[in-house]
């Protein structure tokens, strides 16, 4: 008799969990295109999240009522009070939308009570409808594509079984949020890599986002992203607040997104992370119709699409205070829109293609000169290549500030100065095509800025700023004007200092020359040996 096959061990680490779920999800791909497949998988992750968080709150509420001395009958009358859930940031999940119900019927429901048979895809679609009906903030957000012909119902049921064996709760709704939030972000990154260039439309590498967040330190007020993708800027802001033990409720999140599917992804992503964001009632073009027209932000972080040629340009737009952007490139339209949304004392960080730092075509040079002379630019950072798998275009980050005096967000008056950081040599290769920034790299960039500005972080860590040849330099507006307003850090930071090893230069040249000639002689000797051996073979 053959031995019984051991069941597959459940994943024991977060990495194993994410890898297991991804491999299982990948089996469902079938005939679906990448974008639809993404919607199916992320929709399931979200459904699992809201159900687990609901179940955890329900168990907690039961214990609270029991501790008050209530009987099970009394508890049953009170435990379905929706305010007890929504008031704690937990979505209300109707009974037929709960994961337990769906998992029990992963193979579908037979005909009963006059109802025709229903497969798991139909049940999941109905669950999405029920959740949106019960939670108005999710209206029009969740995908309803699980019963389409190209969705393999058997594999969908198997994937739900796997999700069912994975418990994302046990330490409260926050634990469910944290774990499923990580899974959601992991899947977003995997989908972005799989989709190549299109993936860049909804995903910015976490290291790049962290540079913006760590430099700006958004701890309060209104945080805005005019092209928010899947919401990565807001998620990293939340992580920053948690890491520094700051109150999440001290910030208000505002965003806008052009792509409908991406807007839906962002809504789900932020809900999983417990962020109550105003992403407008629907998706829309920021240039054609700003959906937050009166809002002035304290912090703005954005990764606009690079060098877009087809955009809603209106020459009379009041946002073009520093010059009308060219029709064939929206880079300076994004920059001026972002500046127009900054509140007094506000600051912004924007990812841009490197060409934006020096281009003079279409009047961009004049606009850049106006921005510099208005003293809005506070810092320019040149980033390493290959950070974006979706594009080979080298990128930089622009930082703007409405107040660079010592009464602003720093104790050092930097009026009339711009900090240049050349970080092109930082980072490490993840594989042959992608580079990433380490925690140390991000800290080096952020600490350089904080030391230069004298922010509370600099005071707390006793950070001091000094120009470092080859890495950073604080330039005056006069120096920038002399360079024709080019903002490429390499023009200002100069070459890195060569370490003095104590050997006089004349002695070093003589030594190296002697070593080189010795190598030539050794090479000739080895060549003769090879010739002699080859002669013996003939």
The pLDDT of residue 347 is above 90:
yes
Across all residues in the chain, what is the average pLDDT? 87
Q: Would 518 be classed as within a structural domain?
A: no
Q: What percent of the chain has pLDDT over 70?
A: 91
Same domain assignment for residues 131 and 242? no
pLDDT of residue 392: 73
pLDDT of residue 369: 98
Q: In which domain, by residue range, is 75 found? A: 14-173
What CATH number does the domain containing 217 carry? 3.40.50.150
* Cβ count near 496 (within 10 Å): 12
Q: Would 363 be classed as within a structural domain?
A: yes
Q: Would 507 be classed as within a structural domain?
A: no
Let me know: does 475 contact 420? Beta carbons within 8 Å.
Answer: yes
Same domain assignment for residues 154 and 248? no
Let me know: does 159 contact 6? Beta carbons within 8 Å.
Answer: no
Give CA 312 to chain center in angstroms: 26
Same domain assignment for residues 154 and 278? no
Spatial separation of the C-alpha atoms in residues 416 and 376, rounded to whole Å: 9
Q: Would 510 be classed as within a structural domain?
A: no
Q: Would 252 be classed as within a structural domain?
A: yes
What CATH number does the domain containing 144 carry? 1.20.1260.30
Tens digit of each residue's pLDDT (9 = 90 or more) over 126-163:
999 999 999 998 888 899 989 998 888 888 888 888 77
Contacts of 527 (CB under 8 A, 6+ apart): none
Domain count, the chain: 2
pLDDT of residue 4: 42
Contacts of 34 (CB under 8 A, 6+ apart): 191, 194, 195, 198
Longest dimension (CA), the chain: 102
Domain closes at, from 155, 173, 191: 173
Q: Would 87 be classed as within a structural domain?
A: yes
Q: Would 232 be classed as within a structural domain?
A: yes
Same domain assignment for residues 169 and 229? no
Q: What percent of the chain has pLDDT over 90?
A: 54
Assign 157 to helix, strand or coil.
helix
Residue 120: name the closest of 146, 98, 93, 142 by CA: 146
Same domain assignment for residues 226 and 158? no
Same domain assignment for residues 422 and 289? yes
The pLDDT of residue 109 is above 90:
no
Same domain assignment for residues 303 and 165? no
Let me know: does 381 contact 356? Beta carbons within 8 Å.
Answer: no
Which range, of 29-43, 354-368, 434-448, averages the lowest pLDDT? 29-43
Q: How many CA atoms lie within 13 A of 174 on its CB side?
A: 5
Q: For the residues of 373-440, what is the DSSP string, one character each?
A: HTT-EEEEEEPPTT--TT----EEEEEEES--STTTTSSS--TTEEEEEE-TT--EESSSS-EE--HH
Let me know: does 467 contact 492? Beta carbons within 8 Å.
Answer: no
Same domain assignment for residues 160 and 307? no
Spatial separation of the C-alpha atoms in residues 331 and 352, rounded to whole Å: 7
Let me know: does 442 contact 214? Beta carbons within 8 Å.
Answer: yes
Same domain assignment for residues 160 and 212? no
Same domain assignment for residues 343 and 441? yes
Q: Phi then psi for 447, rounded to 5 degrees?
A: -65, -35
Let me know: does 526 contact 458? Beta carbons within 8 Å.
Answer: no
Tens digit of each residue's pLDDT (9 = 90 or more) over 429-459:
988 888 999 999 999 999 999 999 999 999 9
Same domain assignment for residues 150 and 229? no
pLDDT of residue 170: 45
pLDDT of residue 262: 87
Instruction: Give the pLDDT band (50/70/90) at residue 201.
Output: low
Same domain assignment for residues 349 and 451? yes
Q: Would 229 be classed as within a structural domain?
A: yes
Average pLDDT over residues 361-375: 97
Domain closes at, from 457, 476, 493: 493
């Amino acid at each position: 008799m053959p031995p019984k096959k051991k069941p597959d061990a459940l994943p024991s680490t977060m990495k194993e969990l994410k890898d297991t779920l991804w491999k299982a999800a990948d089996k469902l791909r079938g005939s679906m295109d990448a974008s639809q497949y993404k919607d199916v998988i992320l929709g399931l992750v979200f459904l699992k999240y809201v159900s687990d968080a609901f179940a955890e709150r329900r168990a907690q509420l039961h214990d609270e009522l029991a501790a008050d001395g209530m009987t099970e009958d009394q508890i049953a009358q009170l435990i379905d009070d929706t305010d007890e859930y929504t008031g704690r940031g937990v979505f209300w999940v109707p009974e037929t939308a709960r994961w337990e119900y769906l998992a029990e019927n992963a193979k579908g429901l037979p005909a009963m009570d006059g109802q025709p048979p229903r497969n798991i895809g139909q049940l999941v679609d109905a669950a999405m409808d029920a959740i949106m009906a019960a939670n108005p903030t999710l209206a029009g957000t969740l995908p309803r594509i699980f019963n389409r012909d190209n969705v393999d119902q058997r594999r969908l049921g198997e994937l739900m079984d796997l999700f069912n064996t994975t418990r994302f709760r046990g330490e409260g709704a926050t634990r469910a949020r944290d774990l499923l939030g990580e899974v959601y972000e992991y899947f977003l990154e995997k989908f972005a890599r799989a989709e190549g260039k299109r993936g860049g439309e909804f995903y910015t590498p976490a290291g790049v986002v962290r540079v913006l967040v760590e430099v700006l330190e958004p701890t309060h007020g209104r945080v805005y992203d005019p092209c928010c993708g899947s919401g990565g800027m807001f998620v990293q802001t939340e992580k920053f607040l948690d890491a520094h033990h700051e109150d999440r409720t001290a910030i208000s999140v505002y965003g806008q997104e052009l792509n409908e599917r991406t807007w839906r992804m962002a809504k789900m992503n932020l809900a999983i992370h417990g962020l109550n964001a105003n992403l407008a009632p629907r998706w829309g073009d920021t240039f054609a119709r700003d959906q937050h027209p009166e809002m002035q932000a304290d912090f703005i972080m954005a990764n606009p699409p690079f060098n877009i040629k087809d955009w809603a340009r209106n020459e009379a737009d009041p946002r073009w205070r520093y010059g009308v952007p060219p029709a064939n490139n929206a880079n300076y339209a994004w920059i001026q829109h972002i500046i127009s949304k900054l509140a007094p004392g506000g600051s912004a960080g924007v990812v841009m293609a490197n060409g934006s730092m020096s281009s003079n075509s279409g009047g961009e040079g004049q606009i850049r000169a106006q921005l510099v002379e208005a003293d809005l630019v506070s810092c320019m950072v040149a980033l390493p290549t290959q950070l974006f798998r979706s594009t080979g275009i080298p990128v930089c980050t622009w930082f703007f500030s409405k107040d660079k005096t010592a009464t602003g967000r720093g104790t050092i008056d930097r009026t009339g100065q711009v900090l240049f950081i050349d970080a092109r040599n930082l980072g490490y290769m993840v594989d042959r095509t992608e580079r990433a920034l380490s925690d140390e790299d991000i800290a080096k960039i952020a600490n350089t800025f904080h030391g230069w500005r004298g922010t509370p972080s600099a005071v707390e860590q006793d950070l001091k700023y000094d120009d470092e040849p080859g890495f950073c330099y604080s330039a005056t507006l006069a120096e920038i004007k002399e360079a024709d307003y080019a903002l490429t850090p390499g023009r200002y930071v100069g070459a890195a200092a060569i370490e003095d090893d104590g050997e006089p230069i004349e002695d070093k040249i003589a030594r190296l020359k002697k070593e080189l000639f010795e190598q030539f002689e050794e090479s000739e000797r080895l060549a003769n040996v090879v010739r002699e051996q080859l002669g013996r073979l003939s």
